[in-house]
Structure 1
């Protein structure tokens, strides 16, 4: 019997994607679904502005966000150190796609998250991602050829498809065409998986004319 599919968009530099990771994998066991992991590489300056233009209000929000994510991390026994700079996660994102095709996705995925948030990995350095690939049993030369070949076009196509669905941040889960953004929406996602009729009811209420 085919298991229902939940598509998960993630980015290794997102603190909330990091702390949602464990619970998302648990859905495979508890809800009997299959997870389809795809990168949604956040363009930080596009939605957060450049460092020079950020206001004191913005920095208060950022400090709270990292403090809040760290609470979730601590509850799971995870180490989460604040990022040292703004990262372009392209290499780590296409590394995810490469690892899936070559059968070592989970090892790669967990290693990149753990090492990045432990300040042991620079995700925007090709050599660093190659090291992770080889440590997981993959071919560094094959990955480099992929990066210099079709990786960029495939990566950008995935981002475009995500945004056409309405994705704007991570983690975003997509189930039966419905989007759930953030780890705090996992309970709602579980409800949809277990009671899919609630989707029809919710959508129906949006379009019902007032009496």
Structure 2
């Protein structure tokens, strides 16, 4: 029996990136289907989030993500450009956001095709894996090909169906909160949330109790 789980995920979340290749590996190893559910980053959902947090929060997060990446031997570099335009010194989020809306809508279009996880994996490897100018040239187009998708098709849908896709993303955000959390990455299995890249093994343990089997 194929078990099913939802993963709530954002393109701006470094922890989402650190978790994604392991989510993919789970679907390859186990009889498991993961439904990728894209949400907008906290910078969009709650623009004051960074200003309200403790001053040490951002510095610790940067230290931690690079430490985790080194520990797990996963390439990690500050994104260039950042999917969210933000003044790091003041933590102020810019009103003009040229990347995150298109990215997230294309991700949701990929999810409509059952390829959301694959698209998230390939694109996050560009953004967080050290590819400078990931939004230029054919980087995204090639990432889409590796995910089994056509970037031009995704982009056209993202532009033509922006409101519908945003409604689906908003529904994802509501479902994430209804499941008992608000952050990403969060894997939800049978209504139980497992937040963070460091809870994947715990989620597998729970799924094994429910009959998770290797392929």
Give the TM-score category using the shorter length. 0.7 to 0.9
Q: Is the 8 A contact 1:104 1:136 kept in 2?
A: no
Aligned residues: 189
1:113 and 1:107 mapped to 2: Cα distance?
A: 10
SS at 1:136's partner residue? Answer: helix
What's the offset of the Cα at 1:130?
A: 7.7
Aligned to 2:141: 133
2:20 and 2:3 mapped to 1: Cα distance?
A: 19
Q: How does 1:153-172 map to 2 (within 5 A)?
A: 153-166=164-177, 167-172=181-186
| Structure 1: gaps (5+ residues) | 198-211
What's the offset of the Cα at 1:116?
A: 0.8
RMSD, aligned CA: 3.2
- 2:132 counterpart of 1:120: yes
Aligned to 1:67: 63
What's the offset of the Cα at 1:175?
A: 0.7
TM-score by length of 1: 0.72
Q: Is the 8 A contact 2:186 2:196 kept in 1?
A: yes
SS at 1:78's partner residue? Answer: coil
What's the offset of the Cα at 1:107?
A: 5.7
Aligned to 2:74: 78
Are the structure 2 counterparts of residues 119 and 134 from structure 1 closer, same or farther at C-alpha, using a change threshold of 3 Å? closer
SS at 1:9's partner residue? Answer: strand
1:148 and 1:17 mapped to 2: Cα distance?
A: 25
TM-score by length of 2: 0.71
Q: How does 1:127-206 map to 2 (within 5 A)?
A: 128=136, 132-133=140-141, 136-137=144-145, 138-166=149-177, 167-196=181-210
| Structure 2: gaps (5+ residues) | 86-96
What's the offset of the Cα at 1:112?
A: 1.3
Q: Is the 8 A contact 2:107 2:119 kept in 1?
A: yes
